[in-house]
Amino acid sequence: MDCLVIKGGTPLKGEVKISGAKNAALPLMAATLLTDEECVLRNLPNLSDVRFMTRILKSLGATVETGRGSIRVRAKKIEGFGDYDLIRKMRGSICILGPLMGRLKEAKISMPGGCVIGARPIDLHLKGMRDLGAKISIKSGYVHAKTKNLKGAESFLGGRCGPTVLGTANVMMAATLAKGKTVIHSAACEPEIEDLANFLLAMGAKISGAGSPTITIQGVKKLHGAEHRVIPDRIEAATFALAGAVTNGNVKLKGCIPGHLSAVLDKMREAGVNFTAEKNQIHIKPSAKLKSVDITTMPHAGFPTDVQAQMMVLMLKSPGISIITERIFESRFMHVNELARMGADISIEGPSAIVKGGSKLSGADVMASDLRASAALVLAGLSAQGTTRVNRVYHIDRGYENIDGKLRSLGANIKREPGH
Tell me if 60 sits within 8 A of 109, measured CB to CB.
no
Judge residue 2's burial from the number of C-beta atoms within 10 Å of its C-beta, 0-12 exposed, 13-18 middle, 19 or more buried. Answer: middle
With H, G, I as helix, E, B as strand and everything else as coil, classify residue 407.
helix
Run of H or E residues at 275: strand 274-277
Length of the chain equals: 420
| Catalytic residue list contains 3 | no
Q: What is the largest CA-CA distance in the chain?
A: 64
Run of H or E residues at 144: strand 142-146
Rounded Cα gap, residues 304 and 262, in angstroms: 10
Rounded Cα gap, residues 53 and 230, in angstroms: 15
DSSP string, 326-350: --S-TT--THHHHHHHTT-EEEEET
Rounded Cα gap, residues 124 and 226, in angstroms: 29
Active-site residue, selected from the candidate residues 3, 39, 115, 161: 115
* Residue closest to 71 by CA, chosen among 80, 83, 82, 62: 62
Where in the sequence numbering do the catalytic residues fall? 115
